[in-house]
Every structure is written in C-alpha cells, then in structure tokens.
Amino acid sequence: MMSAPGSSLIRLEQLCKSYTMGGQSFLALDHITLDVREGDFMAVVGPSGSGKSTLMNVLGCLDQPSSGTYYLDGVEVERLSDNKLATIRNQKIGFIFQQYHLLPKLRVIDNVELPLIYRGMSRRERRERTIEALQKVGLGDKLHHLPSQLSGGQQQRVAIARALAGQPPLLLADEPTGALDSRTSREVMALLQELGGEGNTIVLITHDPAVAAQARRVVRISDGRLTEEKGAVS
Amino acid sequence: MKLTQGLRMAWHSVYSQRMRTALTVLGMMIGIASVTIMVAIGNGTAEQVKSQMQGLGTNLLTVNVVGRGATTSISLEDAEALVDIEGVSASAPVITGNVTAKYKAATYSTSIAASTPSYAKVREYEVAQGRFIKEIDGAFAQKVAVIGSEVAEELELSDPVGEKLTLGGIPYTIVGVLAEKGSSSGGSNDNLVVVPIQTARVVLQTNAIRTLYVQAAGEQQVDSVQSALEFNLQRFFRNDENSYSVFNQADLLETVTAVSTSMSTMLTYVAGISLLVGGIGIMNMMLVSVTERTREIGIRKSLGAKRRDIMLQFLVEAALIGGLGGIAGAAAGAGGAGYAGKLMDSPASASTDIMLLAVAFSMGVGVLFGFLPARRASKLNPVDALRH
Ligand SMILES: Nc1ncnc2c1ncn2[C@@H]1O[C@H](COP(=O)(O)OP(=O)(O)OP(=O)(O)O)[C@@H](O)[C@H]1O
Ligand SMILES: [Mg+2]
C-alpha cells in the first residue's frame, strides 16, 4: 500500500476551509498547496488562531475541506463517506494530541490497543504490536497502569505508542509538548526525532520555534496562508 | 469491531458506573417482575377455572329452589316431572347437609348428599370400590352409604365396603367408595357421603328438595334444555320467578373467564407501563452517558471507530443493562408469582419460558430505548467531540 520512498504522501491543492459565523464566511485555510513526501519530518508553525489545528484536522481526515483537493497516500480523500474516512484514520494516520486524549478508565495497554481493535486485528497480534509499541517509547514496564498513574510526559509517550501501534504511514502531532515542562518536552521531542530518523513521516504542529527547529522542514502559516521557511523540496 | 469487543467495552463502562447502573436496572427489574407475575397469575387463574369446570361435571344445569311464598321445596315426583324434557340425559335431585360420621373411635365431620343413582353420572363420580347407590336402595329406604375417598381416609377405613358407620348417630352400611376427584371451587370433591334420597328424612330431618342437577345430552342441547326447564319451573311456581334459579355452568365459566381475562389484560397494561418507565430509565442513562463521554467518542473516532462501532458499543451497553434488569426481574417475578400463587391459592407460577422471554424482551427494550442515544453518539462530529 505504501508508495515508494520520497514520493508524495500528502498533496494539497488550492485547499480551503471556511467557517460561517453569524452569516459571515471566514477562511481558516486559504488556498493551501502543500506537498509532504514520504519520510519528511515537517513542522507547521504560526501564531495562535492562524489555522494550524484546522489544517491538522483536515490532514487527519477528522474534518473535511470546503474546496480544493487532498490526496493522502494516493487516495483523494475529500468528500469520502464517513466510514471510509474512519478507515483512513484507522490505517493511515497516527494522532498525537496536546492533551494526550487517552481514555482514563482504560489501562495503558488497552489504550494503545484501541486502533488495532477497530482494525479487527486478532487478539494475539494486537498484544504483540501493543507491547512492541510501548517498549519503543520506553514504557514496557507500565502496561497495566492507568493513565492517571503516569506523569504527563509518560502519558504523552503512551499516546505516541498508540499512534505507532497501527504502523500508519503518517504521524500527526498537534502541539505534542504544549502541556509538558521543558525537560519532559525535550524527552518527547527526542522520541519524535528518533521516529523521524527511522523514516516515519511526521507533521508536527507547534508555536514554539525551538521545537520547530528540530524538524527537517518548517512551513509557516498565518491567517490561513502557508509559506515555506526551511528545507523545502522544490 | 467484533461483538465480543463491544461486550467487553459495555461491561467495562457498566461496571465503572455501578450505582447508576444499579438504579436503572432496578427500574427495569420492577417492570419485568410485574410482567412476569401478571402473566403467571393470568395463566394460573385460567388453569384454575378449567380444573373447576372439570370438577363439576359437563353440560350441567343446576336448579336451586330458594323457597319463598307457598312452595318452598319440591318433592321427588315434582322433580321427575320438571325434568321430563327432551335432551336431558340424566337428572338428580339432591338434599344436602352436614353430618358427623363416626366409625369406631374415629369421627369426621363431612357433607352429605342424599340423592338418586343418577348423582354419580351428573357429577361425574367414579366408584373405586364396591358400588354406587341403586334404585332399589331408595325404594326400600335402605340405610346404605357411598363414601368419598377423603372420608374413608379420615375414618381410617382400610376395607370400607361392608363396614358400618353412623351418620348423625344413624347406622349406615358402606356399600362403596368414590374414586378421588380433587378440589374444585366448592372445596374438596372427595369429602362427602352419598345416601339414598329416601333416607334423608332420618338423617337430615327433612325431605325438602332444594337442589336439582340436570345434565343435557350434549353441548348443543344445553340451551334448549335450560329454556324448557325454566318454562316448567315457571309454571310449577306459578310465575314466581324469585322462588328458583337455574344456573348454567357454561355461563358461569364464561363470566369467570371473561373477568379473569380482562383483569389480567388490565394488569398487563399496568405492567407494560412500568416496563416503559424502565425503558425510559435506560434511555435517560444512556443519553447522560453519551453526553459525559463525548470526548471518549471523539477519541475513538479519531482512532478509526466507524459510526457502527460507536453505535454497537452503546447499543450493547443498553442491551446489557436491559438484560441485567431482565434477569433480576425474572428472578424477582418468579418469587413473586410463587408467593401470589400461594396467597390466591391458585397454581400461578412463572415458567422458564416466561422468564427467558422476559430476559430477551428486556434486552430488546434496552436496544429499543438505547437506539436514540447510540445514534446520537455515532453521529457526533469528531472535531467537536474532541474539543470537549
Ligand atoms: N468550528 C469553528 N467554527 C468557527 N471558527 C472556527 C472553528 N474552528 C476554528 N475556527 C477559527 O479558525 C481559525 C483557526 O483556528 P485554529 O484552531 O486552526 O487555530 P490554531 O492555529 O490551531 O490556534 P492555536 O495555536 O491557538 O491552537 C481561528 O480564527 C478560529 O477562530
Ligand atoms: Mg490549535
């Protein structure tokens, strides 16, 4: 299913997202054209309200664009049915959220297993992959803890393990260090860098220039418009 | 997602909200228990009525002479004249009373029926030992008696035929024992002594006949026999309709059945309403649950849960709550039905069929009332849900 290394994983063409509020239409994403290649580690920076999360939601197939086209891994995804979008989220995207978004009543291992359950994977395979992913983020000894029994940095690592468990071609991280102090924030970034180094495609959203500096490529968004900053592939 | 996963998730969530679940289950339980009890009572009553009808005899008309005015009773000859109707297969005039039966040291107070040989036929008694009373016993006013099985037992008669007992102090010879028949509306059918009607004067100090059993040859003849009988009676009592009554067993049965049916229909409605309330309880709980878990739903959707996965999760949860309520309700209902049966002296009891049906039904109620909340959950927009 994966395309050859270096080929386009994400392709946005003239993509717009508008919100209508009080009868007034407002462009949160303004004709964005973007190409993300297989193996890219790209940061999206911009001030608050510039449209970063909106972009992430569209890229993550959580929300649909108002116009323009979006190819993910060779599939044109805009205007797909709800079910198909769910399948794409399940198989092609791993989300890492600012607030971790773990289910508080489930143990670490059950949280990480969730995407695999929705994929219909067998119990044994689920377990194997779950443990592997948790070991990768250094939490192989915390399988049976509840999220509330872990520190913020550990919870974010659980969330990363959950994103990794399904081995999706794309990792989407929205302010993954936003809720962490500077030390744990560095730990999490080191982990993401390691993942980036292993050839994972990562789109990282941040407003922190120090975090963005660790990405190989940086794009800036302001008022819904995108400009390249560093490491663009022409 | 597979059903087993849905079940695990549902159990997890139901278990983690024990108090709320318990209260919702209680609501459901009350509904199911009342349905189970009502159905059991309804079935029990129907059965009781049926067995009573079998206890009395079939196609039977009973004439009761109430006795007002000049004529307060009828004689044996009058009785014969009154039932000279086409379609009558047998008739038996009866004088009833209570006596103390004594055999050796044992005494037992029992009812006595002074009647004719036809009595066995109209009341459908079989003779287990010896014989029934005969015409000739009556013609010679023989002091012979046929006793019911209960009387034989109470008087500790091991081989009653030929033995002598006293009825109200008068010695009688036992010529037969009736086969056991069980109970009907009038109490035990086996607690009686039958003697020739001609000896009633000695033992009951009266020969005034106030009861006359008339058996029609078939179901179709019952109505025509009844009207002919009423005609004869009217003439006999000179148009004084208050002096007698004719009592049709089929009519009674119909009335009783109709009353018990409408009773149980009404009670079932009441039970159905409590079930509805239970269902609304489930719906309420699920709606609250969906609202509380909006973020969870958003997270699940972001991880690839399809609409039907979310739907399944919440439906299974609702069915689980319903099922738990059903099991608790069926158990409580079985207990309640047994107790009600005892109180009402009827064979009301909840069968396994009813209980299984109750559990399945309450799961269905869960699914039905869980549908709206589940659908609401499945339709949540993931972006909005995650913002919660
Ligand atoms: N559901 C919505 N309805 C209307 N307007 C919206 C909606 N979601 C976002 N917006 C608007 O779109 C713009 C971009 O929002 P977005 O959340 O993408 O910003 P952001 O770059 O992620 O900001 P932050 O750094 O604070 O997270 C904002 O002006 C916001 O008000
Ligand atoms: Mg944002």
Q: What is the pLDDT of residues B185-199, one digit of tens each?
A: 556 788 999 999 999
Q: What pLDDT does A6 receive?
A: 58
Give yes or no for residue B155 having a pLDDT over 50.
yes
| DSSP per-residue string spanning B80-105 | HHHT--TTEEEEEEEEEEEEEEEETT
Residues B301 and B259 in one domain: yes
- State whether residue A233 sits within 8 Å of chain B by CB: no
Q: The CATH number of the domain where A99 resides is what?
A: 3.40.50.300
Closest CA to B87 of B202, B214, B203, B192: B214
Least confident interval from A35-49, B229-243, B258-272: B258-272
Residue B228, domain member (yes or no): yes
| Tokens representing residue B185 in the block | 């509306």
Which residues touch B352 (CB under 8 Å, ≥6 apart)? Answer: none
As a whole number of angstroms, the distance between CA B8 and CA B14 comes to 10
| Residue A1: burial class (beta carbons within 10 Å; 0-12, 13-18, 19+) | exposed
As a whole number of angstroms, the distance between CA A190 and CA B22 comes to 48
Residue B128, domain member (yes or no): yes
What mean pLDDT comes out for the span B311-334? 92
Residues B261 and B314 in one domain: yes
Which chain A residues have a beta carbon less than 8 Å from that of B305? 86, 118
Side chain identity at A67, as an amino acid letter? S
B142: left (phi over 0), alpha (psi -120 to 50) or beta: beta
Identify the three-state secondary structure at position A230.
Answer: strand
Residue B67, domain member (yes or no): no
Residues B76 and B177 in one domain: yes
Atom number in ligand 1 closest to CA A50: 21
Q: Closest partner residue to B383 among A62, A105, A114, by Cβ?
A: A62
Residues B180 and B303 in one domain: no
Q: What pLDDT does A2 receive?
A: 46
Residue A28, domain member (yes or no): no
Q: What pLDDT does B339 receive?
A: 86
- Report the nearest-CA residue for atom 14 of ligand 1: A51
Residue A177, domain member (yes or no): yes
Which residues touch A89 (CB under 8 Å, ≥6 apart)? Answer: A60, A61, A62, A95, B301, B302, B303, B304
Q: What pLDDT does A234 receive?
A: 45
Q: What pLDDT does B220 receive?
A: 85
| Tokens representing residue A53 in the block | 């999360």
| Tokens representing residue B317 in the block | 């949860």
Q: What pLDDT does A1 receive?
A: 44
Domain of residue B196 covers: 72-236
Phi, psi angle pair for A209, to nearest 5°: -60, -35
Of the residues B186, B204, B236, which one is the last residue of a structural domain?
Answer: B236
**Helices and strands counted in chain B (H then E):** 13, 12
What mean pLDDT comes out for the span A148-173? 95
Residue B316, domain member (yes or no): yes
Residues B161 and B215 in one domain: yes
Residue A15, domain member (yes or no): no
Q: Which residues pair with B97 in a beta bridge?
A: B112
Residue A3, domain member (yes or no): no
Q: What pLDDT does A3 receive?
A: 44
Residue B249, domain member (yes or no): no
Residue A25, domain member (yes or no): no
Q: Closest partner residue to B301 among A86, A117, A166, by Cβ?
A: A86
- State whether residue A132 sits within 8 Å of chain B by CB: no
The CB density around residue B374, as the number of other CB atoms within 10 Å, is 24
Give yes or no for residue B46 having a pLDDT over 80.
no
Residue A185, domain member (yes or no): yes
Residues B166 and B273 in one domain: no
Domain of residue A156 covers: 40-62+88-230
- State whether residue A176 sits within 8 Å of chain B by CB: no
Q: What is the pLDDT of residues B71-111, one digit of tens each?
A: 678 888 888 888 888 889 899 999 999 999 999 889 999 99
Atom number in ligand 1 closest to CA A55: 18
Asked if residues A131 and A140 have their Cβ atoms less than 8 Å apart, the reply is: yes
Identify the three-state secondary structure at position B235.
Answer: helix
Which chain A residues have a beta carbon less than 8 Å from that of B309? 86, 118
Residues B229 and B313 in one domain: no
As a whole number of angstroms, the distance between CA A210 and CA B151 comes to 107
| Tokens representing residue B346 in the block | 């009827």
Phi, psi angle pair for A99, to nearest 5°: -95, 25
Asked if residues B240 and B266 have their Cβ atoms less than 8 Å apart, the reply is: no
- State whether residue B357 sits within 8 Å of chain A by CB: no
What mean pLDDT comes out for the span B361-365? 91
Q: How many CA atoms lie within 13 A of B50 on its CB side?
A: 7
Closest CA to B133 of B194, B83, B72: B194
As a whole number of angstroms, the distance between CA B165 and CA B162 comes to 10
Among A29, A80, A85, A103, the residue to mutate for chain B (most B Cβ within 10 A) = A103
Domain count for chain A, please give it: 1
Domain count for chain B, please give it: 2
Q: What is the 3-state secondary structure (H, E, C) of B325-382?
A: HHHHHHHHHHHHHHHHHHHHCCCCCCCHHHHHHHHHHHHHHHHHHHHHHHHHHHCCCH
Least confident interval from B49-53, B286-290, B311-315: B49-53
End-to-end CA separation in angstroms for chain B: 25
As a whole number of angstroms, the distance between CA A180 and CA A160 comes to 14
- Work out the pLDDT band at B343, boundaries 50, 70, 90: confident
Predicted TM-score (pTM) above 0.90? no
Residues B213 and B100 in one domain: yes
For tokens 């009350």, the residue is B30
Site to substitute for ligand 1 among A53, A58, A172, A205, most atoms within 8 A of C-beta = A53
As a whole number of angstroms, the distance between CA B73 and CA B79 comes to 10
Residue A2, domain member (yes or no): no
Q: What pLDDT does B364 receive?
A: 92
Residues B225 and B94 in one domain: yes
The bound ligand whose nearest atom lies closest to the alpha carbon of A54 is: 1
| Tokens representing residue B56 in the block | 């009395």
Residue B141, domain member (yes or no): yes
**What is the arrangement of strands in the sheet containing A201-206, beginning at the earlier edge strand?**
A93-96, A170-174, A201-206, A41-45, A217-222, A225-230
Residues B154 and B200 in one domain: yes
Residue B41, domain member (yes or no): yes
- Work out the pLDDT band at B184, boundaries 50, 70, 90: low
Atom number in ligand 1 closest to CA B384: 1
Residues B89 and B207 in one domain: yes
| Residue A64: burial class (beta carbons within 10 Å; 0-12, 13-18, 19+) | middle
Residues 303-322, chain B, touching A (beta carbon < 8 A)? 303-309
Q: What pLDDT does B370 receive?
A: 93
Residue B241, domain member (yes or no): no
Q: What pLDDT does B351 receive?
A: 75
Q: In angstroms, what is the span from residue A98 Cα to ligand 2's centroid?
A: 9
- Report the nearest-CA residue for atom 7 of ligand 1: A19
Q: Which long-range contacts (CB under 8 A, 24 or more apart) does B300-303 make?
A: B300/A114, B300/A118, B301/A62, B301/A86, B301/A89, B301/B380, B301/B382, B301/B385, B302/A60, B302/A62, B302/A89, B302/A95, B302/A101, B302/B382, B302/B386, B303/A89, B303/A90, B303/A95, B303/A114, B303/A115, B303/A118, B303/A162
Q: Closest partner residue to B302 among A62, A82, A91, by Cβ?
A: A62
Q: What pLDDT does B386 receive?
A: 92
Give yes or no for residue B154 having a pLDDT over 80.
yes
Residues B371 and B306 in one domain: yes
Higher-confidence position of B9 and A111: A111
Mean confidence (pLDDT) of chain A: 91
Least confident interval from A112-116, B40-44, B336-340: B40-44
